[in-house]
Structure 1
Amino acid sequence: MAFEGLSERLQSAISQVGTGGTITEADLKQMMREIRLALLEADVNFQVVKTFVKSVNERALGSDVLTSLSPAQQVLKIVDEELTALMGGEREPLNFSSKPPTVIMMAGLQGAGKTTTVGKLAKYINENGKKKPLLVAADVYRPAAIDQLETIGRQLGFEVYSRGTEVNPVDIAYDALTQARMQGNEVVIIDTAGRLHINEELMNELREIKLAVDPDEILLTVDAMTGQDAVNVAQSFNEALDITGVVITKLDGDTRGGAALSIRSITNKPIKFTGQGEQLDALEPFYPERMSSRILGMGDMMTLIEKAQKDFDEARAAEMADKIKDATFDFNDFIEQMEQVTKMGSIKDILKMIPGMSKIPGLDELNVDDKDIGRVKAIVMSMTPQERENPDIISQSRRRRIAKGCGQTVAEVNQMIKQFNQSRDMMSQMSNGKTGGMKKMMRQMQQAAGGGKMPGMPGMPAMDDRDFMTPEQIKAENEQKKLQRMLKKKKKKR
């Protein structure tokens, strides 16, 4: 995931501030140096870094940070607010026309993921706005782009307007708009041509298409993996077309992600979406405040909740909750839940959205491979329907048969069943309100990762419930323990 290096550096810089309870100007100066280096290493534009650091420093010196009892928290708040402002402050949604169809013109260099993004955007608009899109294949210079868009259209069930490679792209865009009006399509998304580099021929063609269809949105698709050059690309397209927004793709790749922090400041145009995967549902609206929280290790519960609401059936979830409470959760439910969770993304990324989880040492090394999930599914599918519904009947002889059926060892089958039983008991205790639930959950994760060893999952460190408590809760708990110690001393004296 992008920003991991930046996230670690920023969190480290802030956590070292005021460890003794107070903070000096020298501490702030050192922290600002670390923040500046972290941003530059993440490929953030130099001028953007300079402005950002100056703003944070002025606010930190001008506030009550120096006299605060929790200076690190104060500094974190300032950095969070400035980082959010740097990326635009708040989400900017798509601009839909009051007189349909809404015309969205997609632009970008070849290889940025523009054609795939057209499909993702069409799916997003259809699911969230209940609007019927028409996709337009206006990249006549690359036959593969037309084929790709037609394939995507078939997958999603959307019509693709295409006239091959011999017709002028401007005519294709104009005629597609005419057809959309006749058919009642509420949205038209035009996939324009890209080049391996910016040239005047490309820009002139895009200007002509813009003039012909008068788009409501001109979205620039930018590849996050191009680093600093992504900012230059955005700047050039903005000067030529006056874009209305940016879609950053490949944010799930091994990239430093600095483009996302620079583009808004340089172009003054919002990032509207981010693409994080090849799947056609891997498009997320861009929320600056949520991205800032992720970068600073503060989690992103809103995105996690939205992912869960999108992928989980409410009635089925209620039924599952009752099963968990009554400890009647079986292997069929287990597989169903595993598939639901994997739809939401990688386990590591989901855990990082939970506040406090990113601070767990060793979380970055946690890696649940698709092959590991496949092995677990193979074990479960080698069970009979009766065994999946009644896990407690699985004897040792049955386990030997299951192991042969899925190509795993008996030890691996034993370990998986043990983990299932432990998880089922832990979830039942938590749902029935028994104390120590979080601590038990983390212990189970540690055992699952390191104890019996599911392949590819390194051990996680032991956790305590206090890791998930607010400072106020910790203070209250300490006061209660202090009172208990005093009462014990009085009893001894008697």
Structure 2
Amino acid sequence: QVVKVVYEELTTLMGGAAARLRTAGQPPTVIMLVGLQGSGKTTTAGKLARLIRGQGQRPLMVAADLQRPAAQDQLATLGRTLGVEVYRTAAAGSPVAVCQEAVSHARARMLDPVILDTAGRLHVDEALMEELRAIKAQMKPAEILMVADAMTGQDAVNSATAFHLALELTGYILTKLDGDTRGGAALSIRAVTGAPIKFVGTGEKLDALEVFYPERMASRILGMGDVLSLVEKAEQAVDEKQAAALQKKLRAQAFTLEDFRDQLRQVRGMGPLDQLIGMIPGLSRMKGLPDSSEQERELKRVEAIIDSMTPGERRRPEVLNGSRRKRIAGGSGTSVTDVNRLLKQFGEMQKMMRQLMQAGKGGRMPRNLPFSLH
């Protein structure tokens, strides 16, 4: 009951519900990203563009950091990778002029929203704030989002406060929440500034940006896991048609090593195993769990073994004699023992599925299932 009360209070303190992006009355909507160097601002611009494009919009990213050509090059590279247009200029000028030209370009090309990747500094200084205030005054952005590194703890809170005082931020994007951080910075930033956290970065990949849900972060801070995010990741990784086809195969007892490999790829597509384990309530605190990096390597070994088989062998593993197993081991960079272990485990899994299907038809639980709960 105490945990429940603390959980509800934390959820309320962090905003209660997810805060959505604001939109302008007349398109394009301007989203201004600000923050210190090293917080992941430019990469976050790419992640945000990818997220928005996935909702059916056509964003434009703007290289408004004229101090660092490398930042402009990075944004251009991200744009090519994502298939999102990037506006940059080689001519010397002011950041305000670049932003104005970019918005005119977006309006002419019907691109919306416009994401401004502004300049950062190693430390908060007045010259930076003056430049950002000028962009805000001219562009009147619907959103001014600060990108803050969750790993820096109190420093993130201090810089968030400074940026908020200078620019009246509309929200925050917390990056690097994929490590050991439980999200205390999210609680502190919201409590100190009153501005909502709108997104969180959970990894290095461009799809690792999620809407911030206060109730899920409260669960994470209390070590209760985050099952809802895990379910969402699974839904994104699994194709509905593939899932229906797989279910049909399972019922028909026609599950093959090819299907098994596809399932492994979907699990790996959900993200690092240690991240998935951290979302399951209580599991991350259990002792004696296998090292997640070793588990990742094992999944790759299994996939390599299956890839080294012919399509016929994957469909009918019973044809795998000694010489074939030796060939597969050589082709996958593993040992014959590894191949034998995989085939034995797959055989046991098929046996278990047959028993479960038969039991389902008869309305009873099967006995002597080939796995142990201990």
| Normalised TM-score (structure 1) | 0.70
Pick aligned residue for 1:126 from 53, 58, 73: 53
Amino acid at match of 1:99: Q
One-letter amino acid of the counterpart of residue 111, structure 1: G
Check 1:114–1:328 CA distance in 2 against 1; reply closer, same or farther (3 A cut).
same
Residue number in structure 2 paired with 1:193: 119
What is the Cα deviation at residue 442 of structure 1?
A: 7.6
- Which has a greater percent of helix? 1
Deviation of the 1:162 alpha carbon = 0.3
Counterpart residue type for residue 229 of structure 1: D
Q: Determine which of 268, 279, 299 is the counterpart of 1:353.
A: 279
The one-letter amino acid paired with 1:326 is: A
Aligned-residue CA RMSD (Å): 2.3
Confirm whether residue 213 of structure 1 aligns to residue 134 of structure 2: no
- Assess, with a 3 A threshold, how the Cα gap between structure 1 residues 349 and 277 changes in structure 2: closer, same or farther: closer
Deviation at 1:118, TM superposition (A): 0.3
How far 1:254 sits from its partner (Å)? 4.0
Task: State the number of aligned residues.
Answer: 370
Give distance in 2, aligned partners of 1:149 and 1:85: 36
Please tell me whether the aligned partners of residues 327 and 425 of structure 1 are also in contact (alpha carbons under 8 angstroms).
no
After superposing on structure 2, the runs of 4+ consecutive aligned residues of structure 1 that deviate more than 6 Å are 434-437, 439-442
Partner of 1:274: helix, strand, or coil?
strand
In the other structure, the counterpart of 2:173 is 247
Task: Write the distance in 1 (CA, Å) between the matches of 2:365 and 2:189.
Answer: 45
Q: Cα deviation per residue 1:6-60 (whole Å; 9 max; x = unaligned)?
A: xxxxxxxxxxxxxxxxxxxxxxxxxxxxxxxxxxxxxxxxxxxxxxxxxxxxxxx
Q: In 2, are the aligned partners of 1:290 and 1:300 still within 8 Å (CA)? A: yes
Query: Post-superposition shift, 1:419?
Result: 2.1
Q: Match of 1:273?
A: 199
Deviation at 1:357, TM superposition (A): 4.1
Q: Secondary structure at the match of 2:163?
A: helix
**Residues 204-353 of structure 1 aligned to structure 2 (within 5 Å):** 204-255=130-181, 257-353=183-279
Give the superposition deviation at 1:428.
Answer: 5.2
Comparing 407-416 and 142-151, the one that deviates more: 407-416
Give 1:470-485 correspondences, 5 Å limit.
none
How many Å separate the matches in 2 of 1:254 and 1:296?
13
The sequence identity of aligned pairs, in percent, is 52
For the structure 1 residues 366 and 116, does the alpha-carbon distance in structure 2 shift closer, same or farther, using more than 3 Å as the test? closer
C-alpha distance in 1 between matches for 2:23 and 2:347:
51
Give the residue type in structure 2 aligned to 1:122. Answer: A
Contact 1:222 1:230 in 2 (8 A): yes
Distance 1:374 1:301 in 2: 25
**In 2, Cα distance between the equivalents of 1:82 and 1:195?**
35
Q: Structure 2: how far apart are the matches of 1:285 and 1:318?
A: 28
Contact 1:299 1:356 (C-alpha < 8 Å) held by counterparts: yes
Matched, 1:78 2:78: no
Q: Distance in 2 between matches of 1:331 and 1:308?
A: 21
SS at match of 1:220: strand
Distance 1:326 1:362, change over 3 A: farther
- Structure 1 residues 321-330 or 309-318, which shifts more? 321-330
Deviation at 1:181, TM superposition (A): 1.2
Confirm or deny: 8 A CA contact 1:140 1:164 kept in the other structure. Answer: no
Deviations 1:260-282 (Å, cap 9, x if unpaired)?
22110011011111111111111
For 1:428 and 1:345, the matched residues in 2 are separated by 30
1:91 to 18, 43, 54: 18
Q: 1:435 to 1:257 in 2, by over 3 A?
A: farther
Kindly indicate whether residue 351 of structure 2 is the aligned counterpart of residue 407 of structure 1: no
Amino acid at match of 1:239: L
Q: CA deviation at 1:384?
A: 1.5
Distance 1:164 1:362 in 2: 56
Deviation of residue 333 (structure 1)?
A: 1.2
**Residues 348 and 370, structure 2, Cα contact 8 Å, conserved in 1:** no
Q: Give yes or no for contact 1:227–1:256 (8 Å, CA) kept in 2.
A: no
For residues 447-486 of structure 1, what are the structure 2 equivalents within 5 Å? Answer: 462=373
- Which of 44, 48, 58 is the matching residue for 1:117? 44
What's the secondary structure of 1:342's corresponding residue? helix
Q: Matched residues in 2 for 1:426 and 1:101: separation?
A: 56
- Alignment partner of 2:54: what SS? helix
CA contact (8 A) 1:347 1:368 kept: no
Matches within 5 A, 1:48-59: none
Deviation for aligned residue 1:365: 4.4
Letter in 2 for 1:311: A
For the residues of structure 2 that align with 1:256 and 1:335, how far apart are their CA atoms?
A: 33
- Secondary structure at the counterpart of residue 77 of structure 1: helix
Please give the TM-score of this superposition, normalised by the length of structure 2.
0.92
For 2:29 and 2:70, the matched residues in 1 are separated by 26
Q: Structure 1, unaligned stretches of length 5 or more?
A: 1-73, 444-461, 464-494
**1:440, distance to aligned residue in structure 2 (A):** 6.4
Q: Taking structure 1 as reference, are residues 165 and 419 closer, same or farther at Cα in structure 2, changes over 3 Å only?
A: farther
SS of residue in 1 equivalent to 2:162: helix
In the superposition, relative to structure 1, how do residues 262 and 428 fare at CA in structure 2: closer, same or farther (>3 Å)? Answer: farther
